[in-house]
Amino acid sequence: MTLVHRSRREGGLRRVREALRRVGDAQSADGVLEMALTQVCSTLGFRRAALSRIDRDTLIVEQIRIPREHREAARLEEQVAGLTFPLSVLAAERRAIETVAAVLVETPDRSALPHELARLMGHAPYVVAPLARHGEIHWLLHADDNGTGTSMGNEDRECLWAFAEGLGFALESRTARDQQRAQRSRINDVLLAAERAALSLGAPGDRSAGAARAGDATVRSMLTGREVEVLELMARGGTNREIAGHLVISEGTVKSHVASILRKLEAHTRSEAVSRYLGGAPAGQSASRFAVKRIDGDPCTAEA
């Protein structure tokens, strides 16, 4: 290994840990994949990278990263995304899938690629690593040095393979959290619909629909315009992240608004505040016996 190469790849495990830490900040499984190629290039030190999805016997290019100094980088990235290749003509890729391990290709054969893509990729050595989730390989990661004059060796293969393995675990974790969040959202939608139905039906001692509307107006008068917007989105079952995206504000700002809403309405939970907004108990009184507790954690920070 040359001194130049050693300098570029020193601390490989440290770089892998740092890349995985940054990928772990993604807010969803899709976000993990979107950040992956950026980290392969910016943190691991490869010049170009690609993420392809495996669909039976076909490889579909989903993303590609080309150095920004390439004058046609943006156009090529868009043009290459979506290209498909039969795995039957991609020997190294098949080997990576069959062995469930990264493969170093020192003399790549580009003859099976479209002319423009083959010209773009050139004959630089590259590494391909399988990306698995729940024990099944769904994607392939490709990375190379864009013919910069540095050779690629086993340390490059091990670096990309370690990253791909960690990325698989990150995907599993984020996928599980996405599923839990979606399930909580569906349950909360059902509970909120039930609460609305109960409030609209009314019961002895409960307020009428007219009183509920008056209560709604009373609640509105206690809040700022932005707080009313946040509360309305809370009533629709929106999470802090969804509310932030809808109003184009940060999640931290949403949490501050939620805290202020709970304080002004003297509510202990998000669901209690929503209940009062929809016509439940007025501020300072217990919520209606029809109120349903939302599935969440801390009332200000929980992502229901």
Contacts with 303 (C-beta within 8 Å, 6 or more apart), sequence order: 181, 184, 239, 240, 241, 296
Task: Indicate whether 206 and 170 sit together in one domain.
Answer: no
Q: How many domains does the chain have?
A: 2
Evaluate if residue 125 carries a pLDDT over 80: yes
Q: Does 188 fall in a domain? A: no
> Where does the pLDDT of residue 173 fall: very low under 50, low under 70, confident under 90, or very high at 90 and above?
confident
- How far apart (Å, rounded) are the C-alpha atoms in residues 192 and 234? 10
Task: Give the pTM.
Answer: 0.58
* Mean pLDDT across 53-82: 79
Asked if 228 contacts 220 with a C-beta cutoff of 8 angstroms, the reply is yes
Asked if 130 contacts 137 with a C-beta cutoff of 8 angstroms, the reply is yes
Task: Indicate whether 93 and 233 sit together in one domain.
Answer: no
Q: According to the model, what pLDDT value does residue 119 have?
A: 62
Ranking 57-66, 93-102, 261-270, 288-297 by mean pLDDT, the lowest is 288-297
* Mean pLDDT across 173-188: 81
Q: How many CB atoms lie within 10 A of CB 78?
A: 10
Task: Indicate whether 228 and 169 sit together in one domain.
Answer: no
Task: Indicate whether 119 and 251 sit together in one domain.
Answer: no
Evaluate if residue 18 carries a pLDDT over 80: yes
The domain that contains 9 carries what CATH number?
A: 3.30.450.40
Secondary structure element (H or E) that encloses residue 126, with its range:
strand 126-133
Please choose, from the candidates 68, 32, 269, 73, the residue with its C-alpha nearest in 3D space to the C-alpha of residue 174.
32
* Mean pLDDT across 208-232: 73
285: three-class secondary structure by DSSP: coil
Evaluate if residue 304 carries a pLDDT over 60: no
Please give the residue range of the domain that contains residue 17: 3-175
Q: According to the model, what pLDDT value does residue 238 have?
A: 87
Asked if 272 contacts 287 with a C-beta cutoff of 8 angstroms, the reply is yes
287: three-class secondary structure by DSSP: coil
First CA to last CA distance, the chain: 52
Q: At 61, which amino acid appears?
A: V
- How far apart (Å, rounded) are the C-alpha atoms in residues 55 and 205? 60
> Where does the pLDDT of residue 83 fall: very low under 50, low under 70, confident under 90, or very high at 90 and above?
confident
Task: Indicate whether 167 and 68 sit together in one domain.
Answer: yes
